[in-house]
A and B are shown apart, each in its own frame.
Chain A
Amino acid sequence: MENQLKHFRETFGFSQGELAKRLGVSRQTINAVETDKYDPSLPLALRMAKLFGVAVPEIFIDSWEPEDVK
């Protein structure tokens, strides 16, 4: 899933390792999310959003739109 994690991380001046420590995951996890190789769990996405003070959809962008169901 396309995401803005790298943008928010750099805006806050964190290295991948620093962000990983704050979120309680490995640096590889942060790298995998940033390079769109891994979609984090909902708890981790919520922690990221809380850390950056934004809503989850501001970090993770999903182009899906609901169709009208008749």
Chain B
Amino acid sequence: MSGQMQKKWAKPMVAALLGGIAGYLSIEGYVWFGGGAELAEVNPMRLILSAVGMVYLLMAVFVGLGTLVPRAGAKLLNVADSDDLIDQRAMLLGSSASSGALGAALMLMAASGPGGSVPDGLALASLAFAMIFSTVLTILQWRHYDELMRQVSWESSAFGLGLLFPALIVWAALAHLGWTAALDPLGVIALSASTVLMGTFIAAGRRGMLTQG
């Protein structure tokens, strides 16, 4: 690998590795100490939704802490220097809060319902809050986005829908024909949340925002 390629991929690879380790340890902790194993026995989709929620939460933590401590954040997040983080502080903190709220809501939802340890009302309220908070924040931040951010935002939605649409339809069609089990409601939430996330990564990656320029 050439020096330029190493520079381009070093930071994203370190971030991905740290994120992977943190995610693995968090899920292991949830399974062993948070009652996740019992819930997963009842419905494996609970564990999958928890994992998706954990990804959102970890993203929120990485971006939030990175923005609040720009010197450290510049070493981990995909920015040129700490000034990038200071310039975009409001937007990044908003995104972090939004991602954190959704991640927490997904995890609470996974642990609620029949046999769950979280009260249904709390799970529903947290999800409603996360959805409303994200929507209002996006509307407020939209006017401060520059043209690249707006383009990436549109493309994220398009890629997310492009992934979700066929997956849901094919799954539902196969279930209708009796070839597979119907998708669990928590599965619909997990699939939607993960395809939105994948759409965002694809859109950001295509615009060179996941590597160093």
Contact = CB atoms under 8 A, between A and B. Distances in A.
A17 B80 contact: yes
B83 A28 contact: no
A31 interface: yes
Given A16-B80, A27-B84, A37 B208 contact: yes
A35 to B, nearest CB: 5
Contacts of B208: 31-32, 35, 37-38
Interface in B178-209: 206-209
Contact of B83 (A17, A24, A38, A41): A17
A26 interface: yes
B207 A27 contact: no
Contact of A37 (B84, B147, B206): B206
A29 B84 contact: no
Interface in B64-99: 80, 83-84, 87-88
A26 B83 contact: no
Contact of A26 (B146, B206, B213): B146
Interface in B81-137: 83-84, 87-88
Nearest to A24: B146
Contacts of A38: 148, 151, 207-208
A5 B85 CA distance: 24
Contacts of B88: 26
A40 B87 CA distance: 21
A51 interface: no
B149 interface: yes
Contacts of A54: none
Contacts of A17: 80, 83-84, 87
Task: With a 10 A CB-CB cut-off, give which of B80, B87, B88, B148 has the most chain A CB atoms.
Answer: B148
Nearest to A36: B208
B146 A34 contact: no
A25 interface: yes
A44 interface: yes
Nearest to A41: B147
Interface string A22-61: 0011111101101101101100100000000000000000
A31 B149 contact: no
Given A17-B80, A37-B206, A25 B213 contact: no
B207 A37 contact: yes
A25 B80 contact: no
12 contacts: A17-B84, A25-B148, A26-B87, A26-B146, A27-B80, A28-B207, A29-B147, A35-B208, A35-B213, A37-B208, A40-B147, A41-B147
